[in-house]
Structure 1
């Protein structure tokens, strides 16, 4: 029992699995939230497109009656219903928890198809060529679709939505061709001047630049998503690492072992300290009478009382060992009253257990054995990055454990070494009950039992 170790880090493989699972769960939740938001964006987009289509058709009616105005308005209505249907579908998939990652590709393909069809019928209904696509309000839904796509944290989906929307827009331009004016309008001198002034803006080279800019916009959002995903992975990994580190180290020690202090703690330290061992008597026979659920509650209740007594007197629970515990006084720095606080902690724990027996009516009552010893000990972090452990070891630990075991033979709940009694300044309250070779080097250690009156706490 010379080494009592506390696991701080699990193996890299297990830690990677846990981190990966946490990240995937977080990304999945983010994915569902993103699709929910994008679903509402689709609904709002449908309403905006309907309004813009109506305004375009009304505004162009004053200039020409050569196209079917009703057809244009019908197509605007079809567009709004298409986006509404797609938005409602995505919302229902998320709300009903039926949404799957592959469905995002289908939904964004639907976005691109609706956008392309809306552009085509808007331009064709007015009688304009494909080079007028930039003049239709619907085209500016493209940056919006690219922007909201960045909510997904899925670069492949963003690459696909960029590609699909560009295919839709280029397809509309290719099918309708390039025409500067409305179909059926004859070119006059004034129109010739207009052609010279605005014609270059709707020629092929500017559209190539517009296409390149929109593509770069989509790729930029992809890069932003990749960077955000990497930062998220790193954040979750670091959080998981710190959580595991704090979880398995004693609560009083974890804040002292920062990222830059691990190397110092690995070097270890030898110093004076006081060790308290506590163990439940006859626990094996008692545990056999309990079902697993009740046994778990029992152990948890016992440990809470150990923690309460330890924290009250500035100790550190280094490790719970089944139905027992190892408590250290003097970490991280030794104090002159370590022994006195260890003794007070033992009394407090015995009082808490007496109250527990009365409260629960245990039959037979719960009894423990407590052994205390003080002396030089080693503590620090040992191991490599795959398995880092907090360790307390030395002859002092061995002696304290054997004193605790001696409580069975003497049938006394609390025993301490002579050194503890002397340093605590409580010689009048303790009585020697034996001297035994408890040390690792065969040294005889005087064992004392408490005979004083324990104050009511």
Structure 2
């Protein structure tokens, strides 16, 4: 099986040239200030509003298509001239909505803002033109009874999705002016006294009542939009704070443990039994390294080694459980289960070794860098251990202790990766290992069968 990062067959250990060592990111992550948080929320809100604009335009385009289809279906009852004029208007509206949608997809900043205000102006105007065409083509009575008046409410409601209460007020004002302009400019001149006497709402007071109704709807929509906007900003701010907190926690514990802490699952005594592979890694001759080189150089070496080792462990589904001075303890199979935890740990171990080789080629303080790794598989108890005021997620069991002893044995055995029989059994028959015999380990009554990869 070839690993993608290094081109190494973990089971047969046929080594190919290692990939170049990726430069790691150094320094602390910038802590966002309150002003930065506000800018982030404003950007997120603007992005959400832009997506809402696209959705509004797409919905109005669909409504235009439906209206055009309805006009065609009702053509025998509407008359040829009205159908032709309404279809021309629908085609123009569809072209406008299509172009606006395309512009919103590629536009940002001032262009998107201008398109929002343009939409709040043009959309009620389209309804006004449609009613004017009906009044001049089929008469005032037709226009007064046309269902197109309800489209004013539809285009006003569309402004809610633009998440700007000012657009709701402005769009409502344009709709009210259009409503009054159609009535007094096209409908009222064609009505007779008999029409008004027969249907009183056709009179001027009915037009003013409709204008008042549209104004109240616009005000209600503006209030609802402002409320929705505040909830969106508050919710987005909470999500952003949670993500920032999770990112900060992940610098001290693994991402999985950080999520458990934020969920409130990290409770003292909450433990579970898991089958895992433990990887215990330690830098060799670190004390001598500290004596020969300046502390700043040693800290830089240690940080970069940890950065790369953690990245490789995460890439293979492992969790860095803790740092131990010049070493680290990683778990494969906890807190999240891993179906091939032994294979993943072996691949991560070999890639760490090859990364160290790449670092050593730099010379200087890096020339003395070397590593020893111990691997063991078995059952451990994982969970939050400690007092309620201070908890630590850890794994407890003989597997952890044995992996640490195997790592200590690696230098005496002149091997960089040493593993137990349990780990070899889980790797399967293709594991290209060599037996080092049964070795007594401190803290264990019986000798332990020890193995190493042939090319480690």
Render the CA deviation track for 1:153-208: whole Å, top value 9, x for unaligned: 232223222211211111122224635746xxxx8xxxx6x764x33121233332
| C-alpha separation in 1, matches of 2:50 and 2:158 | 17
Q: 1:243 to 1:96 in 2, by over 3 A?
A: closer
Kept after mapping to 2: 8 A contact 1:124/1:176: yes
Residue in structure 1 matched with residue 95 of structure 2 by the alignment:
85
Residue 260 of structure 1 and its aligned partner are, at CA, apart by: 7.6
| C-alpha separation in 1, matches of 2:85 and 2:372 | 86
Q: 1:104 to 1:10 in 2, by over 3 A?
A: closer
In the TM superposition, 1:298-377 aligns within 5 A as 301-304=308-311, 317=321, 353=349, 356-357=352-353, 367-368=370-371
Kept after mapping to 1: 8 A contact 2:310/2:320: no
| C-alpha separation in 1, matches of 2:187 and 2:347 | 92
Kept after mapping to 2: 8 A contact 1:149/1:158: yes
Q: SS of the counterpart of 2:140?
A: coil
In the TM superposition, 1:35-434 aligns within 5 A as 35-48=57-70, 55-57=77-79, 70=81, 72-94=82-104, 97=107, 100-128=112-140, 133-176=143-186, 178=188, 181=191, 196=197, 198-247=198-247, 248=250, 249-251=253-255, 253-258=257-262, 278-279=282-283, 301-304=308-311, 317=321, 353=349, 356-357=352-353, 367-368=370-371, 429-430=441-442
Instruction: State which structure, 1 or 2, has the greater radius of gyration over its C-alpha atoms.
Output: 1
Task: Return the match for 1:24 from 36, 42, 46.
Answer: 46
Residue in structure 2 matched with residue 339 of structure 1 by the alignment:
none
Structure 2 alignment gaps of length 5 or more: 1-27, 269-279, 293-302, 332-343, 362-366, 374-384, 393-411, 417-438
Residue 37 of structure 1 and its aligned partner are, at CA, apart by: 3.1
Q: TM-score scaled to structure 1, two decimals?
A: 0.54
Q: TM-score scaled to structure 2, two decimals?
A: 0.54
| C-alpha separation in 2, matches of 1:179 and 1:210 | 18
Render the CA deviation track for 1:367-392: whole Å, top value 9, x for unaligned: 1389xxxxxx999999xxxxxxx9xx
Residue 102 of structure 1 and its aligned partner are, at CA, apart by: 1.0
Render the CA deviation track for 1:339-375: whole Å, top value 9, x for unaligned: xxxxxxxxx99996467547997567951389xxxxx
Q: SS of the counterpart of 1:121?
A: helix
| C-alpha separation in 2, matches of 1:100 and 1:136 | 34
| C-alpha separation in 1, matches of 2:58 and 2:354 | 56
| C-alpha separation in 1, matches of 2:144 and 2:256 | 65
Kept after mapping to 2: 8 A contact 1:147/1:221: yes
| C-alpha separation in 2, matches of 1:238 and 1:115 | 41
Render the CA deviation track for 1:370-421: whole Å, top value 9, x for unaligned: 9xxxxxx999999xxxxxxx9xxxxxxxxxxxxxxxxxxx9x999xxxxxxx
Residue in structure 1 matched with residue 420 of structure 2 by the alignment:
none
| C-alpha separation in 2, matches of 1:83 and 1:351 | 60
| C-alpha separation in 2, matches of 1:79 and 1:255 | 55
Render the CA deviation track for 1:11-59: whole Å, top value 9, x for unaligned: 433333333333333332333333233333334445545666873347x
Q: SS of the counterpart of 1:122?
A: helix
| C-alpha separation in 2, matches of 1:318 and 1:177 | 80
Asked which structure has the greater RCO (Cα within 8 Å, sep 6+), the reply is 1
Residue 226 of structure 1 and its aligned partner are, at CA, apart by: 2.5
Residues paired across the two proteins, number: 337
Kept after mapping to 1: 8 A contact 2:313/2:330: no
Q: SS of the counterpart of 1:31?
A: helix
Residue 103 of structure 1 and its aligned partner are, at CA, apart by: 1.2
Q: 1:225 to 1:17 in 2, by over 3 A?
A: same
Render the CA deviation track for 1:54-113: whole Å, top value 9, x for unaligned: 73347xxxxxxxxxxx4x455334423332332232233245558622112223322222
| C-alpha separation in 2, matches of 1:306 and 1:119 | 68
| C-alpha separation in 1, matches of 2:105 and 2:134 | 34
